[in-house]
Amino acid sequence: MTFTWMRRGAVVGLGFAGLLTLIVAGCGGDQGGADKAVVYPEQGVNIPTANNAGSTAGSAGGTSAAPAPAASTTATPSKSEPAAASGGWGTLKGQVVFEGNPPAPEDLVEKGKAPKDETYCAKDGPIKSERLVVDGASKGVKNVLVYIPKPTAVNEEAKSAATSKDFVFDQKGCVFEPHVVAFMNGGKLTLKSSDQVNHNVDAKLKANSIYNQILASGQSMVYSPNAGERTPCEVICDIHPWMKAYWLILDSPYFAVTDDKGNFEIKNVPSGAQKVVVWQEAVNKGFVTAPSGDEVNIKAGDTTTQNFKIDGSKVSAAK
């Protein structure tokens, strides 16, 4: 089986039999060509070949390395100089805004009328739907997923930040908080309940085993996935049927969830053309962009601003 390693300005064919088996699974939807495995090395990392398998690293900053035996070693670029090796990294930022007049937020549960645990849930006020939250002044849309599922390279700092951050998924006021969470395969998600009643976290995962866990009041636990998911996955509480949220588990460290003004920022993105996916649950089929993403050209050493619009006519009715 032959895999192709893609680098800026060069393509090197590798013929390592059985080197890698790439299994792509998910929660539905077509990401377009997901079965065609293309392996992208990190920027600044030497590609192993028969000619440099025993190579030593060259000195940082592009200065000459010490002489090496001609037949056995080859100088390789240092990880400290990815910009020289592959064009560098940039920041992607922008805003997701709503075009048109958004519908008024729906009351999922009226005050004092919760069908379960009515003495606690919605006791002091109604529970509002978070399916589509639009800021009145800016028209920015909250809880939109913006991500790069197949980057052309991965920055080690971005990967370390994504896998080391402790993402928290709480149950508070009989509502999942946050409503949308993205995290990376290899990282962890801390589940907790700040409520005085029991809940359960029922995550409809596909690439990972379905996860369904009771959480008692004040309890917490850690969930660690073992695979990335192709699309966002629904999470519900079977005890309180109005409770719903979404998880996106990625093999890529490049993701963001928009804030209450619709703003997002993703750092250390590889420069050049990247496919950026935008997903929002109220949109028909979920995707604001093409399911495989829209191409955005990332500027090296700079910030690239790319805004996205949600067409109000493409928002589906609540189920």
Residue type, 82: P
pTM: 0.74
pLDDT given for residue 317 in this prediction: 76
Domain boundaries, the chain: 89-314
| Low-confidence residues of the chain: pLDDT under 50 | 1-26, 28-85
**pLDDT tens across 218-272, in order?**
999 999 999 999 999 999 999 999 999 999 999 999 999 999 999 999 999 999 9
DSSP lists the bridge partners of residue 113 as none
Strand ranges for 116-224 from DSSP E: 127-128, 145-147, 166-171, 176-177, 180-184, 188-193, 199-203, 211-215, 220-223
| CATH placement of domain 89-314 | 2.60.40.420
CB 3 within 8 A of CB 16: yes
pLDDT given for residue 27 in this prediction: 53
